[in-house]
């Protein structure tokens, strides 16, 4: 257990800033933003990013646990780490989608009222 504790705390320390930022952004959007499509997009995007940060933390803790157990052979560990690398890449793609949704919501929220109204041609 002792060989797992320090790497686990280190992994948690690396993940903590992103988790805090996502949690604060989620609270700000939930409490302070005006209801509407932009807020909804922002909440979905931040929620995706928070879920991805938690998944990345879980994958990192699992990786530390595999290293600390020392029961698997080097071939099995390399196979596990290759699969974890692919999982991390997929998680990052989902997190990217969350960031795009936040930017989309910001673009919708910052459009001026004139841009939102359809252009009417006058004679």
Please report, for the chain, the start and end positions of each structural domain, with discontinuous segments joined by +. 2-109
pLDDT in tens, 52-99: 999 999 999 999 998 888 776 778 888 889 999 999 999 999 999 999
What pLDDT does residue 94 have? Answer: 96
- Give the distance from CA 82 to its chain's centroid: 21
Does residue 1 have a pLDDT over 60? no
What are the structure tokens assigned to 9, written together?
Answer: 């705390």
Angle, helices 37-69 vs 2-32, to 10°: value is 180
Instruction: Measure Cα distances from 44 to 11, 22, 33, 98 in Å.
Output: 26, 11, 13, 7
What pLDDT does residue 74 have? Answer: 78
61 contact partners, CB below 8 Å, separation of at least 6: 8, 11, 12
Does residue 123 have a pLDDT over 70? no
CA–CA distance, 12 with 19 (Å, rounded to integer): 10
pTM confidence score: 0.83
What pLDDT does residue 92 have? Answer: 95
CA–CA distance, 113 with 32 (Å, rounded to integer): 21
Angle, helices 74-110 vs 37-69, to 10°: value is 170
The burial of 82, by beta-carbon neighbours within 10 Å (0-12 exposed, 13-18 middle, 19 or more buried), is given as: exposed
């Amino acid at each position: 257990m002792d060989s797992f504790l320090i790497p686990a705390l280190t992994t948690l320390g690396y993940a903590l800033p992103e988790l805090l930022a996502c949690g604060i952004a989620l609270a700000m959007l939930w409490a302070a933003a005006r209801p509407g499509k932009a807020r909804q997009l922002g909440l979905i995007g931040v929620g995706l990013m928070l879920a991805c940060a938690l998944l990345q933390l879980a994958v990192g803790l699992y990786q530390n646990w595999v290293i600390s157990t020392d029961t698997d052979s080097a071939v099995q560990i390399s196979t596990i780490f290759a699969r974890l690398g692919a999982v991390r890449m997929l998680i990052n793609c989902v997190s990217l989608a969350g960031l795009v949704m936040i930017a989309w919501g910001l673009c919708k929220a910052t459009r001026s009222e004139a841009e939102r109204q359809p252009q009417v041609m006058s004679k």
